[in-house]
Amino acid sequence: MIQPVGTAHTEPVLVYCPGLGTYPANTADGVTDVLAAVLDRQNQGNYSAARLKDVTAPRGLVLGKTVLDPRDEPVLHVFELDYRKHMDPPSTSAGPAAPPGALTSALYAVAGLIGLLRAARHPAKTRLAKWQLFYGLIAVTALVLCAVVAILSWLIAAGAGSWLPEQVKTFFGLNASAVALTAGAVTVGGWALWRTRLLALAATVQRIMRYFDEERHRQTVTLTLTEAVDSLRDNGWSGAVHILGYSFGSLVAFDALFPAQMATSTNSRLTEAVESLTTIGCPVDAVRLYRGGYLGGRGALVKDRFKWTNIVNLADIFASNFRDDADGTDGGTPVPIAGRIWPIENLRYGSDELGLMNVLKAKGFRTHDGYWGTPKEASCFDAVVGRWVRLGSDTEVSQG
């Protein structure tokens, strides 16, 4: 039996599963700073966030800060799940990848078009599904543009594009991996402005498609959560473990706790350690548009007293309530997962909804990034922080 190493910790642990984007708020430190500020406002005390010298990150986790109470005692340790490094395929050669990526880009573009057509015929939900299809069209367009420029760049690099005007060859030759400029769609100046964003969007969509298309790859990514909990216990962390998943990170957490294909034996450490799951802006309905059976055929690696809270903003293009036939947090029929109806508590954050004007203003994207920000801003954590942090041994933090 492996003996714990290092300092023993009995305080609760929050494992943050971030979204795919990289920005300060989408980190363990960013979350901890906001949680400390929320606790400070709710309890009129001097709560703070700090990095402790005796705290190190177990395997599979990135060290975050610790929430300290007015006596400077730790009440919640926050770590970040380091799953994103597994999202990209490993290098298969010593040299750099071929710049154009023509075949890969074309295959992803075709797969995206097929998926979009299928989703248009079988929408998972109501009005929100239509807007998700609209944004899906934008994502697929980026894939197609990427494929076009990749093929053109490959032709030029191979000397097969002699029929192209010299200006076009020079333009594409400067950046062989750039997203293509559709004829007459944008000007050269517009291309220079949007090229980076479109290329980044196409790359992100490809990463997401690979996650859902390749079972072994998805299991590799989600295995990071199981290994992280094992590592916590191996290193003397005996307190309750809470999982917080945001955006794509909430899908990773869900797939880890409710695996699509059950292993021959369950992981008792994971089951016993994890007390709760909180999902924020979870895009499960957008996934179900393209994969109708995504929630079916699953097992559950959680205990009966496991608590699941889902935070939804109805102006968020990606948010889901894990129900059928309704976009709101209350209506609709709960979706069975792992053979049973789980008591998912849907909490609505904000009063906006995703109407036409909000779509035209791209509010659906901004809202998805707006569940929290800096410690001085309002956040969605006011209603849930008391479920992770306790004052003393028995008294739960005030919910405000």
Give first-to-last CA distance, the chain, whole Å. 44
Q: Tell me phi and psi for residue 151, to 5 degrees.
A: -65, -45
Q: What is the pLDDT of residue 54?
A: 84
Distance CA 147, CA 101 (A): 8
Residues of the chain with confidence (pLDDT) below 70: 1-7, 89-113, 115-199, 201-202, 261-266, 326-327, 355-365, 391-400
Q: By three-state DSSP, how is residue 290 classified?
A: helix
Output the six-digit token pair for 318. Answer: 């990606």
Closest CA to 278 of 11, 12, 10, 62: 12
**Angle CA(58)–CA(230)–CA(215) in degrees, nearest 5?**
105
Q: What is the pTM of this model?
A: 0.78
What tens digit of pLDDT does each residue of 236-284 get?
999 999 999 999 999 999 999 999 866 545 678 889 999 999 999 998 8
Asked if residue 108 lies in contact with residue 147, where contact means CB atoms within 8 angstroms, the answer is yes
